[in-house]
Amino acid sequence: MNLIFFGTPQFAVPSLERLLSHEAFNVVAVVTQPDKRRGRGNTLSPSPVKALATPHQIPVWQPRRVKKDAETLEKLRSAQADAFVVVAYGQILSPEILAMPRLGCINAHGSLLPQYRGAAPIQWCLYQGESETGITTMLMDEGMDTGPMLLKATTPIALLDNALDLAKTLSTQAADLLVDTLEGLDQQTIQPIPQDNEQATYAPLIQKSDYVLDWSRSAIDLHNQIRGFYPNCWTPCRDSSLKITATLPLGVPDLSLPEAFQPVEQTWETSDRPSNATPGTIVALLKNYGAVVQTGAGGLLLREVQVAGKRSQTGWDFVNGMRLEVGERLGSQESGVRVP
């Protein structure tokens, strides 16, 4: 099968790797986003997909707007590919492009459709505290993740999984599922299934305001926000900003913690802490673990943080380095606090 692969970030790399190594497929070209300037040197850097394709001497096309780029459209048309495979490409494909390949445009989406249609399904399913997610392959249509479904694969979500962890798992799962999908379509053993639009939920682009922590929310909700929008959630701390990148909710009824952290829960339950503390207040300092912050319901252990201008550190190193004390309060916005 002759394929053209559309993809850009690291999430798409395992899928391209699998297709390149599979004897049934011939990747004739790759379409990816234009190089971007990154790092302190502001140097142009290729996308992870381009970085993989280049050593394989595969033609790489990088139109700024694929549906309006006449040269790329002609190349796509002339390739006469059996299928276009799309994994986190980052641009909308026009009806003209969708109609080009024999088998259609096949997308691997990071959710169990019709749930979490949109740009950030992994992040929002964590934010909502889902216990499982997965990959859905589908035939693309003109809508946003609305096309007929082909195959699904599920994966459980652990309490301490963050968006990076889950993306790594799902990217490998997508690679496996794409192979099965392409072979099934070619052999006509897969029957596309329309999505139930009434069951659809959405995962829009993440805004900067989504990163700000509101300590009046519950410990489990804040934990899900922090791991879902990893590593960008933050709160004011003294006269600076504090990124919080790993946490553990404590005092949450019916929540089963991983075995390694069950002693932390026991220590928290027996600790001498202020009653009726205002949300955002540090109410306990658990030795070798970190500070616990009072939330709207339960306590939130800060397992890993990053002070503005410094490297990431453990929660306990943060306690010692800042000489934190019980009673200090996070979240009060002071003038001059830099938004990370």
Tens-place pLDDT, residues 19-28: 999 999 999 9
pLDDT class of 331 with cuts at 50, 70, 90: confident
pLDDT cut 90: percent of the chain above it? 89
Domains of the chain plus CATH, in order, are 2-199 (3.40.50.170), 208-322 (3.10.25.10)
pLDDT class of 42 with cuts at 50, 70, 90: confident
Sequence-ordered list of residues with C-beta below 8 angstroms from that of 150, at least 6 positions apart, any chain: 106, 136, 137, 138, 139, 181, 184, 185, 190, 192, 193
Claim: this prediction has a pTM higher than 0.85: yes
- CA dist 121 and 116 (Å) reads 5
In DSSP terms, 207 is beta-bridged to none
Tens-place pLDDT, residues 142-194: 999 999 999 999 999 999 999 999 999 999 999 999 999 999 999 999 999 99
Segment 187-204 shows an average pLDDT of 97
Residue 15 has pLDDT above 80, yes or no: yes
Tens-place pLDDT, residues 51-90: 999 999 999 999 999 999 999 999 999 999 999 999 999 9
Residue 335: per-residue pLDDT: 45
- CA dist 217 and 252 (Å) reads 13
Tens-place pLDDT, residues 212-263: 999 999 999 999 999 999 999 999 999 899 999 999 999 999 999 999 999 9
Sequence-ordered list of residues with C-beta below 8 angstroms from that of 317, at least 6 positions apart, any chain: none
Residue 35: per-residue pLDDT: 95
